[in-house]
Structure 1
Amino acid sequence: DSTISLAASITTGLFQTLPKLKANMAPFEKSMEMMPFKQRKCLATRKDEVCSIRSKFPNKLPVIVERYIREKTLPLLDKTKFLVPFELTLGQFLCLLRNKIALDSSQTLFLLVAEKSMSCMSSSMGDIYSHHRDADGFLYITYASQEVFGAPQLAARLPG
């Protein structure tokens, strides 16, 4: 736990996002925010954004974290865009997400990387990024409260 809390304190200041004032959003803006990131921005825009991020923060990885589309019990994160250090493990990142969502120890949180795989929690985000980053340059991670990743609804969408 001391390693996790050390990682949390080190990385807390490293997450960079664009803050949104949800309370003041019009209904259309809220519905746009509910759409997956890839549907809100075209490929060229996402690529440009990654280039800009990587030039400003060369030691950080651009990660998009979104809730599983059929998830009903976990809240939406207040931000979906994160910059994380290469050496952070997926397990440490999971702990940070658990804290952001304010889950207690009895609640489960599953992560799906690039819409197709559950990765080893001891893998570094740098390794995961190098193997699973999208064509746009972002690493996409989906979270859910249950192990829904083998469910027929999602399995039908996954590339075989």
Structure 2
Amino acid sequence: MARRYLYQCRNSFEDRKKESTSIRQRYPHHIPLVCEPAPGNNNHPGNGISSSSSSSSSSPCAVVDALLHRRKVLRELDYSKFLLPEDASIQQLLVLLRRRLLLESEQALFLFLDDNMPPSSACMGDLYTQKKDPDGFLYLTYGIESTFGGNREWRQ
């Protein structure tokens, strides 16, 4: 079963399709994308997600409560939808996300597309053409890992 995103759980397919179509008509050279935290991102202990809780559920949207709980623990974006130029690269999106998430210098940010890390030089337009969802959005997830000595809170 395909991964479900919070945005997909909160909005019907028809609404998402209508929105992406409208966006592409108004901004034909831009890519509508949704970027959410990766499930199971172990940036902090007790992030509220376990692999058993998401896989044992009968509903693909059952992890929504756990994801909402995780917002209290994991740094999250205040919004998950973005509109980027077709010629923007993954690296440019990473810079934008680092700024929005207010990450510390010892925190590394990783982007995933279908559970794979796209090259930082990959063009958003090419990724959109190859990997867009039937609703017209490109879905990405991000993960944050502590590097260079770990999280300051854990050392105290």
With the length of structure 1 as denominator, give the TM-score of the two structures. 0.65
**Match of residue 25 from structure 1:** none
> Is 1:129 matched with 2:128?
yes
What SS does structure 2 have at the residue aligned with 1:145? strand
> Is 1:48 matched with 2:47?
no
**1:20-71 CA distance string (max 9 Å, x none):** xxxxxxxxxxxxxxx7111111111111111111111111110101112333
Structure 2 residues not aligned, in runs of 5+: 42-46, 48-72, 147-156
> Is 1:107 matched with 2:107?
yes
* 1:74–1:144 contact (8 Å) kept in structure 2: no
What SS does structure 2 have at the residue aligned with 1:111? strand
Aligned partner letter, 2:75: P
What SS does structure 1 have at the residue aligned with 2:33? strand
Q: As a proportion of its length, which structure holds more helix? A: 1
Q: How many residues align?
A: 112
In the TM superposition, residue 119 of structure 1 has moved relative to its aligned partner by 0.5
Aligned partner letter, 2:32: P
What SS does structure 2 have at the residue aligned with 1:65? strand
> Is 1:79 matched with 2:49?
no
**Match of residue 144 from structure 1:** 143
Higher relative contact order (CA 8 A, sep 6+): 2
Q: Please give the alpha-carbon distance, in whole angstroms, between the structure 2 residues aligned to 1:136 and 1:146.
A: 30
In the TM superposition, residue 104 of structure 1 has moved relative to its aligned partner by 2.6
> Is 1:65 matched with 2:38?
no
C-alpha RMSD of matched pairs (Å): 1.8
Aligned partner letter, 1:124: C
Q: Please give the alpha-carbon distance, in whole angstroms, between the structure 2 residues aligned to 1:69 and 1:50.
A: 24
What SS does structure 2 have at the residue aligned with 1:52? helix
What SS does structure 2 have at the residue aligned with 1:136? coil
Amino-acid identity (%): 38
Q: Please give the alpha-carbon distance, in whole angstroms, between the structure 2 residues aligned to 1:78 and 1:91.
A: 20
